[in-house]
Amino acid sequence: MTKHFLPFAIFIFLFAACSSDDIPSDIIPINRMKFILFDVISADQFASTKYPKDTAALRKNSPVLYQQVFAIYKISKDDFYKSFNYYESHPDKNKELFDSVSAIAGRARQSLYMRKM
């Protein structure tokens, strides 16, 4: 009996591992989420630069900037945070997401440096 159980268990394990790559339909796909997250991080950085010592203004204006980013991408705050929490709970997908955001930031930085030359 165990002779037949082991191959079956391996098959189930491999099948489950392969099907875990699928992102649920109610989660923003990585190829879209990377741009949204980059803009949210940029908005946060903008607010931190604009209000470096005024934490009350920072707390007041950061959500407004986030909402503007969400409006640009036609998503809700709940859509964003549901997707963000999903990626946080899936380390492999989270790494892929943040690697993509890092690549976007690198290209943006390189573009800015090239303009200054």
pLDDT digits (tens, 9 = 90+) for 48-72: 887 777 778 777 778 889 999 999 9
* Predicted TM-score (pTM) of this structure: 0.74
Mean pLDDT over 96-106 rounds to: 95
Residue 4 lies in a domain: no
Residue 61 lies in a domain: yes
At 21, the pLDDT band (50, 70, 90 cuts) reads low
The amino acid present at 26, given as its one-letter code, is D
For residue 52, the 8-state DSSP code is: S
Half-sphere exposure (Cβ direction) of 8: Cα atoms closer than 13 Å: 5
Residue 15 lies in a domain: no
Residue 32 lies in a domain: yes
Residue 89 lies in a domain: yes
pLDDT computed for residue 117 by the predictor: 65
For residue 54, the 8-state DSSP code is: -
Question: For 12-16, 22-26, 90-94, which range has the lowest pLDDT when averaged over its residues?
Answer: 12-16
Using CA atoms, how far residue 109 sits from 1, 2, 62, 112, in Å, is 61, 58, 23, 5
pLDDT computed for residue 19 by the predictor: 43
Tell me how many domains the chain contains: 1
H-type alpha helices, 73-90: 77-88
Mean pLDDT over 77-88 rounds to: 97
pLDDT computed for residue 30 by the predictor: 96
Residue 19 lies in a domain: no
C-beta of residue 20 within 8 angstroms of C-beta of residue 76: no
Residue 16 lies in a domain: no
**Residue 65: is it exposed, middle or buried by C-beta count within 10 angstroms (0-12/13-18/19+)?**
middle
Q: Which domain holds residue 66?
A: 28-116
Residue 5 lies in a domain: no
